[in-house]
Amino acid sequence: MEKKWVRYWIFQSIGWGSFALINTFFAFSFDKLTPNFFWRLGVFFVIGIILSHIMREIITRLGILQKNLNKQVFQFLILTFCLALVASFIAVEVLIRFDLLRSDEQQLLGRVGVSFLINKLLLILSSAFSYFILFFIWNLIYFMYHYVSKSRKQQLDTLRLESLVKELELQTIKAHINPHFIFNSLNSIRALVDENPQRARKAVTELSNILRSSMQVEKVEMVPFEEELYIVKDYLALENMRFEDRLKIEYEIDEDTLDQPVPPMMLQTLVENAIKHGISKQINGGIVKIISDFKGDYHEMAVQNTGSLNGSVNDEGFGIPSTTNRLSLLYGDKARFEIKQINPSLVEAKLLIPVAAEFRS
């Protein structure tokens, strides 16, 4: 509040100071620097700065800036006109009292055949026109300043709201990721309980490791790719106990990509989909291959699995829509996701994420 007050008086001083300098310049240029010039200028300057401040108080108290545009314009004009009359009346009284009138003003005031009050009124109206122009310019600048400030505030509020919505949407998506993963893992363990209790116990240990890691990464928007890969390997180790020889796992990882920040659980989601919609539907099982490499300015993460698309998969389950939504929220149109059949028996889900600026050479 104190900064705004200081800024307001700085602008006031600059505005009315400019008025005084411009008048002085023209008076000097046209050789009209009379002995009374600076006294008259001082009167106009003081009255102007006091009355414009009063006008600001009236605008604030009446809440004119909060009204619709038509009412603002109408009330600004009325206020400008009224304050111009008041300022002119005070100025004329002061000029008469201290004998600071110009010769033309003295002639107007002393015209024969017309009453003194009428002549004085004409002089006030003549001066009021000048004050009206000054106050109109003052109001125009004041209005534009607050209009721009209000627009900037609305833009900032809109950005904050969009950021909040984005954060809430990401949290909602994350809230779905963990249950989706947990249910799949529990189903895997359930399949092992009767068949091989020892492996089931080992699977519980694997699951607790995965859950511990997922709970840690849930608190952040990005994790190093190495951490994400660690979770994926635990998950695949768990699934490998269920599928045994039916699941073959391959990794093609560029070690330079391990430090790259990636959205947590995103690669994990694609691997789950590869198991659920690919390997689990193959009688003889198949392969899951994880690829991480740099492609230009992008970090490419791909999951290849044995299987076929059987048409569009964009609306199937939760994994694909959640991946698309998260990429859109985090990167806008800078990231890409695609899933396609790369040969008759192999499906590839591929993410292209912009390389973080600090990792670019």
Of 161-165, 189-193, 222-226, where does mean pLDDT reach its minimum? 161-165
CA atoms in the 13 A half-sphere facing the CB of 66: 5
Q: If pLDDT is split at 50, 70 and 90, which confidence band does 288 have? A: very high
Averaged over 296-300, what is the pLDDT? Answer: 91
Q: If pLDDT is split at 50, 70 and 90, which confidence band does 337 have? A: very high
Q: Which domains does the chain have, with CATH numbers?
A: 2-157 (no CATH), 194-359 (3.30.565.10)
Q: pLDDT higher for 282 or 207?
A: 282
Sequential DSSP letters for 55-101: HHHHHHHHTGGGS-HHHHHHHHHHHHHHHHHHHHHHHHHHHHHTT--
Q: How far apart are CA 138 and CA 132, in angstroms?
A: 10
On average, the pLDDT of the chain sits at 82
Q: How many CB atoms lie within 10 A of CB 276?
A: 18
3-state secondary structure of 360: coil
Q: Can you give the pTM of this predicted structure?
A: 0.50
Quick one: pLDDT at residue 112?
A: 55
